[in-house]
Amino acid sequence: MNEQLTIAPRRIGWFCSYVPEEIILAAGCEPVRLEGRVERFQEIDSYLHANLCFTIRNIFESGLRKQYDDLDAVIFANSCDGMRRLYELWSHYIQTPAAYFLEIPKNRDENGISFFSSQLLNLKNQLEEDFAVSITAERLVQAGLQMNERRGKMLELFERQKASPLPYKGSELHTLAIQEGRLPKRDMYPEIQSVLEKPVPVQPVGKAAPRLLVSGNEGTTPTLFRLIENSNADVVLFDTCRGLNHYTGMVSMGNDPIQSIARRYLFKPACARMPGSAQRMERLAALIDEYAIDGVVYSGVQFCDYTLFESALIEPFLKARSLPVLVVENDYIWSNTEQIRTRIEAFVEMTQNKRRTA
Amino acid sequence: MQERYQMMLEMIQARLLEKKRGMDFFIDALFRNILRAYDPELPTVYVSGYAFPMELLWAFDVTPFDFEIACNNLPEVMTGNGSGLMLESEKRGYSRNICSFDRLIIGCLHQGILPKGDLFLTSSYYCHGKAKTNEVVAAHYGMESVLLDVPNEISPAAITYVATQLRNIAAKLEAVTGTKLDPARLKESIHRSNQARASLLTICDWMKRRPCPWNGVEACLLGLGGALFWGSPVRIEIHRLLLTQILERVEKGKTIPEDYRILWFPWVPVQNTNIFKILKENCANVVMAEASFVFWPELDENRPFESLAMKALLDPHVGKAERRIQNLVQSIDDYQIDGAIHFSTTSCYHENTAFPIIRDAIKKKGVPLLNLSGDMSDERNYSAAETNIRISAFMELLAG
């Protein structure tokens, strides 16, 4: 029993794309990307206001129902107002497993790097203390290399999506990305490699479907992707915090591994939590060109402030470029599928018509 | 906006001619300040006074424009017609699930009634919606939005992080004013802030008296809207006038009847509601509001950036809710509170997520608590009938 305990790596959960898995790996632990795990709310309304982000509600309810008891620790990040308070709720009502809080500076400059480095150093020290491990510079460098390799493989898959006909279904890539975050790293590496090595299926000529890009927050299930694919369109790319955005940017190891990691994470393409909507629009426009995109589906979780603001900016931005855009709201578990299906079918039809006339 | 505030200014000035009251003086100063933002003579700096160390701005020749307070004190909002302005943002894709404060500002922006800004400052606290709105407004004018990012933890690294940002912001203020920061002027601004802080503490002490010689609702309004004037002589004068009034009331026994003493948090609605009328009818007096707590120590005039960074870091809406709980629970004892009211505004995500912990602490203290749902400024999210029922039930609870 004791032997098993020492052999099995400790599992540390994390939620936000700004949490460096490198530090968890360097601690000899297994990073596990977390998501809400309940299908139906039972207890949450006696704690939280109904008008709160469904991601927060789902995670908290999962915690209350002891759905994360398979973990040794959870790292929360100051991703948003809801998440920073969730950490407090967690500490207050759930307590186990151990919970850490990581500040993510919103200013992406040298001052931010310096502060973020101090945060990562604190996290490293806490993990060392709580798990009786030594996180050396060498281990951090190794972890950085390991993560870079994995990112490289995933980016290669995304890069191939520029081709027409499309090599991979968006839903398949999304499932792979979800598994990459959730499952043990050693298991996932061959999985990603096998997808890369698999012969690319060739679509019959003349059947090219509209090429769509998914942005915003698509959730952890492939529901949105399947709805799009079943409507005879392709999800070419998802530039979300589980997609291209998450994998873009390598750790460039310098003399100070912690600072190098901080630099990679803070300088990766910014998500909607960060200031800089204009830069995000520019990035979106560039991706639309690179991937020959015909339309954009912007998905937001209900009551997520960031996506609510961003969607209002993206819609006119894309419309001004005559690119079809559809904004949909999901409740995290996508229980409102039928409404969304109707809208997606109409959107795909409109995109097809636009392609024909173009 | 100018016409509306000009009209309201004339009304308040007529009242001031009758008698110089503290709150009237504050509103007069606030409205004048809003109107000055349209004057091209001085650079206009967008900011949220309640969530920014204003002492820095008063060290420069700029007009700070509190875009949140300015939009949410428009007559349309206060008379329950704010949604007309909000529709201007909603029809541009801003969801009704976004805070009404923010929708209103974006609505005003698209109505073309906001002044043109020279610098757009915002902060990461209380909420991220405010920062996003500032970014939207700045982008509309082709300008950059400058964010003061204040982390949750208090540590030497956090102080350095915030103080460095404040120095960078000072450099931006130098650029828009064309003048270097005068350290003596910043010192003076901090000195004035300390003076005003001391007099506010005296006012808070007076509010511990039974019956309370002032009004927690006004204290809340001053706490939020009047935060713009920390570091300005205006804030000192407001407090001086308020203290004069308080002393006069105490001497002449002119206080309002008080059967129940209420603690209000976190803020009062801007729109006109029936809440305070019902409370008054029940002789329930709001004697203190969280927004008027003095949460920071005296600022160090010789280390201005670090002490202003600390003031920001100590803001109760930055750190853990535990800090708020300590202050709220302490005030229950200090102000002999009979009941507490939490005003839960729709789409205030950080506040509504913190509430369960605060609720449990206040319940543990044995003080009845009413969680009153409503909206700061969107009348569509407010029900007078429901409010009446809920406050009446609360009053029955207080009556035992």
Give B382-394 pLDDT, tens digit per residue: 999 999 999 999 9
CATH code of the region A2-136: 3.40.50.11890
pLDDT band at A202 (very low <50, low <70, confident <90, very high): low
The CA distance from B153 to the nearest CA of chain A, in Å, is 8
Say whether both B334 and B350 belong to one domain.
yes
For the beta sheet containing A211-216, the strands, ordered from the edge strand earlier in sequence to the opposite edge, are: A234-239, A211-216, A295-301, A325-330
Chain B CB contacts of A111 below 8 Å: 161, 164-165, 168
Which residues, 6 or more positions from A128, have their beta carbon under 8 angstroms from its beta carbon?
Answer: A27, A134, A135
Would you state the pLDDT for residue A355? 81
Would you state the pLDDT for residue A204? 60
Q: How far is CA B259 from CA B191, B264, B338, B398, in A?
A: 39, 16, 9, 10
Give B264-302 pLDDT, tens digit per residue: 999 999 999 999 999 999 999 999 999 999 999 999 999
Query: What is the C-alpha separation between B145 and B187, in angstroms, rounded?
Result: 26
Q: Indicate yes or no: CB of B153 within 8 angstroms of CB of A103.
A: yes
Say whether both B169 and B280 belong to one domain.
no
Say whether both B212 and B359 belong to one domain.
yes
End-to-end CA distance of chain A: 67
pLDDT band at A2 (very low <50, low <70, confident <90, very high): very low
The CA distance from B112 to the nearest CA of chain A, in Å, is 18
A–B interface: beta-carbon pairs under 8 A: 127
Q: Indicate yes or no: CB of A118 within 8 angstroms of CB of B349.
A: no
| Topology at the third CATH level for domain A139-357 | Rossmann fold (3.40.50)
Domain(s) labelled CATH 3.40.50.11900 in chain A stretch across 139-357
Once rounded to an integer, what is the mean pLDDT over residues B160-186? 98
Asked whether the beta carbons of B76 and B164 are under 8 A apart, the reply is no
**For position B11, which CATH number holds?**
3.40.50.11890
Nearest residue on chain A to B145, judged by CA atoms?
A275
Q: Which of B130, B151, B179 is the last residue of a domain?
A: B179
Percentage of chain A exceeding pLDDT 90:
80
User: Tokens for A134?
Assistant: 């030594």
Interface mutation vs chain B, best among A43, A48, A49, A110, most B CBs within 10 Å: A49
Flag whether residue A345 sits within 8 Å of chain B, measured between CB atoms. no
Nearest residue on chain B to A49, judged by CA atoms?
B352
Asked whether the beta carbons of B228 and B64 are under 8 A apart, the reply is yes
Query: What is the C-alpha separation between B206 and B203, in angstroms, rounded?
Result: 5
Say whether both B157 and B191 belong to one domain.
no
The single residue listed with the structure tokens 């039974």 is B210
Q: Indicate yes or no: CB of A306 within 8 angstroms of CB of B322.
A: no
Can you give the pTM of this predicted structure? 0.95
Supply angle C-alpha B289, B293, B296, rounded to 5.
165
DSSP three-state, residue A293: coil
Q: Which of A56, A101, A103 sits opposite B353 (nearest CB)?
A: A56
Residues in chain A: 358
Percentage of chain B exceeding pLDDT 70:
100
**For position B194, which CATH number holds?**
3.40.50.11900
Q: Is the pLDDT of residue B42 over 90?
A: yes
Higher pLDDT among residues A4 and B321, named by residue: B321
Taking alpha carbons only, the member of A323, A325, A303, A300 closest to residue A315 is A325
Give B191-230 pLDDT, tens digit per residue: 999 999 999 999 999 999 999 999 999 999 999 999 999 9
Q: Is the pLDDT of residue A201 over 70?
A: no
pLDDT band at A3 (very low <50, low <70, confident <90, very high): very low
Q: Indicate yes or no: CB of B147 within 8 angstroms of CB of A105.
A: no
Q: Indicate yes or no: CB of B353 within 8 angstroms of CB of A82.
A: yes
Asked whether the beta carbons of A154 and A177 are under 8 A apart, the reply is yes
The single residue listed with the structure tokens 């620790």 is A73
Query: What is the C-alpha separation between B304 and B306, in angstroms, rounded?
Result: 6
Once rounded to an integer, what is the mean pLDDT over residues A68-77? 94
Chain A CB contacts of B89 below 8 Å: 312
Say whether both B97 and B190 belong to one domain.
no
Interface mutation vs chain B, best among A47, A60, A106, most B CBs within 10 Å: A106
Q: Which of B157, B179, B201 is the last residue of a domain?
A: B179
Chain A CB contacts of B164 below 8 Å: 111
Q: Indicate yes or no: CB of A303 within 8 angstroms of CB of B153.
A: no
The CA distance from B356 to the nearest CA of chain A, in Å, is 6
Flag whether residue A115 sits within 8 Å of chain B, measured between CB atoms. yes
Q: Which long-range contacts (CB under 8 A, 24 or more apart) does A285-289 make?
A: A285/A317, A285/A321, A287/A213, A287/A237, A287/A239, A287/A244, A288/A213, A288/A321, A288/A323
Q: Within 10 A of A128 (CB to CB), how many other CB atoms are there?
A: 15
Once rounded to an integer, what is the mean pLDDT over residues A333-343? 91
φ, ψ for residue A211 (rounded to 5)? -100, 115
Which amino acid would we find at residue B221?
Answer: L
Would you state the pLDDT for residue A274? 95
Domain(s) labelled CATH 3.40.50.11890 in chain A stretch across 2-136
Q: What is the 3-state secondary structure (H, E, C) of chain B?
A: CHHHHHHHHHHHHHHHHHCCCHHHHHHHHHHHHHHHCCCCCCCEEEECHHHCCHHHHHHCCCEEEEHHHHHHCCHHHHCCCCHHHHHHHHCCCCCCCCCHHHHHHHHHHHHCCCCCCCEEEEECCCCHHHHHHHHHHHHHCCCCEEEECCCCCCCHHHHHHHHHHHHHHHHHHHHHHCCCCCHHHHHHHHHHHHHHHHHHHHHHHHCCCCCCCCCHHHHHHHHHHHHHHCCCHHHHHHHHHHHHHHHHHHHHCCCCCCCEEEEEECCCCCCCCCHHHHHHHCCEEEEEEHHHCCCCCCCCCCCHHHHHHHHHHCCCCCCCHHHHHHHHHHHHHHCCCCEEEEEEECCCHHHHHHHHHHHHHHHHCCCCEEEEEECCCCHHHCCHHHHHHHHHHHHHHHHC
Chain B CB contacts of A86 below 8 Å: 353
Would you state the pLDDT for residue A205? 57
Say whether both B345 and B235 belong to one domain.
yes
Chain A CB contacts of B360 below 8 Å: 92
Query: What is the C-alpha separation between B305 and B163, in angstroms, rounded?
Result: 5
Query: What is the C-alpha separation between A339 and A348, in angstroms, rounded?
Result: 15
Query: What is the C-alpha separation between A323 and B210, in angstroms, rounded?
Result: 66
pLDDT band at A357 (very low <50, low <70, confident <90, very high): confident
C-alpha of B173 from chain center: 23
pLDDT band at B67 (very low <50, low <70, confident <90, very high): very high
Once rounded to an integer, what is the mean pLDDT over residues A250-261? 97
Query: What is the C-alpha separation between A154 and A26, in angstroms, rounded?
Result: 21
Q: Indicate yes or no: CB of A315 within 8 angstroms of CB of B93.
A: yes
Nearest residue on chain A to B94, judged by CA atoms?
A312
Residue B162's domain comprises: 2-179
Say whether both B341 and B193 belong to one domain.
yes
Instruction: Tell me which H or E stretch contains A77.
Output: strand A73-77
Interface mutation vs chain A, best among B106, B353, B371, B373, most A CBs within 10 Å: B353
Q: How far is CA A158 from CA A155, A173, B97, B176, in A?
A: 5, 8, 34, 44
Would you state the pLDDT for residue A206? 58
Q: Which A-chain residues 249-278 have CB contacts (< 8 A) with chain B?
A: 273, 275, 277-278
Q: Is the pLDDT of residue A55 over 50?
A: yes
DSSP three-state, residue A95: coil
ipTM for this prediction: 0.94
Taking alpha carbons only, the member of A241, A244, A245, A270 closest to residue A107 is A270
- The domain total for chain B is 2
Q: Which of B93, B153, B356 sits opposite A311 (nearest CB)?
A: B93
Say whether both B203 and B345 belong to one domain.
yes
Asked whether the beta carbons of A121 and A16 are under 8 A apart, the reply is no
Q: Which long-range contacts (CB under 8 A, 24 or more apart) does A337-346 make?
A: A337/A223, A337/A227, A340/A224, A340/A227, A341/A227, A341/A230, A341/A231, A344/A227, A344/A228, A344/A231, A344/A297, A345/A231
Per-position DSSP letters for A98-152, written without gaps between them? EEEEE---S--SHHHHHHHHHHHHHHHHHHHHHHT----HHHHHHHHHHHHHHHH
pLDDT band at A267 (very low <50, low <70, confident <90, very high): very high
Q: Indicate yes or no: CB of B346 within 8 angstroms of CB of A86.
A: no
Most confident of the ranges A28-42, A80-94, B152-166: B152-166
Give A140-180 pLDDT, tens digit per residue: 999 999 999 999 999 999 999 999 989 999 999 999 999 99
Q: How far is CA A122 from CA A49, A135, B276, in A?
A: 33, 12, 47
Which residues, 6 or more positions from A246, have their beta carbon under 8 angstroms from its beta carbon?
Answer: A17, A177, A240
Say whether both B173 and B193 belong to one domain.
no
Once rounded to an integer, what is the mean pLDDT over residues B172-201? 98
Chain A CB contacts of B98 below 8 Å: 305, 308-309
The CA distance from B268 to the nearest CA of chain A, in Å, is 18
Say whether both B364 and B267 belong to one domain.
yes
Q: Which of B138, B164, B179 is the last residue of a domain?
A: B179
Q: Indicate yes or no: CB of A53 within 8 angstroms of CB of B349.
A: yes
Give A274-331 pLDDT, tens digit per residue: 999 999 999 999 999 999 999 999 999 999 999 999 999 999 999 999 999 999 999 8
The single residue listed with the structure tokens 């044995």 is B366
Q: Indicate yes or no: CB of A51 within 8 angstroms of CB of B352.
A: yes
Q: Is the pLDDT of residue A95 over 80?
A: no
Chain A CB contacts of B344 below 8 Å: 49
DSSP three-state, residue A35: coil
CA dihedral A297, A302, A306, A312 (to 10 degrees): 50
Q: Indicate yes or no: CB of A85 within 8 angstroms of CB of B145.
A: no
Lowest mean pLDDT of A151-160, B226-235, B345-354, name the range: B345-354
Instruction: Tell me which H or E stretch contains A320.
Output: none
Asked whether the beta carbons of B224 and B26 are under 8 A apart, the reply is no
Say whether both B15 and B74 belong to one domain.
yes
Say whether both B195 and B164 belong to one domain.
no
Interface mutation vs chain B, best among A83, A109, A115, most B CBs within 10 Å: A115
| Average pLDDT value over all residues in chain B | 96
Once rounded to an integer, what is the mean pLDDT over residues B7-21? 95
Flag whether residue A305 sits within 8 Å of chain B, measured between CB atoms. yes
Chain B CB contacts of A89 below 8 Å: 353, 356-357
Would you state the pLDDT for residue A207? 63
Which residues, 6 or more positions from B243, have their beta carbon under 8 angstroms from its beta carbon?
Answer: B22, B199, B202, B203, B206
Q: Is the pLDDT of residue A203 over 70?
A: no
Chain A CB contacts of B99 below 8 Å: 305
User: Tokens for A328?
Assistant: 């949909």
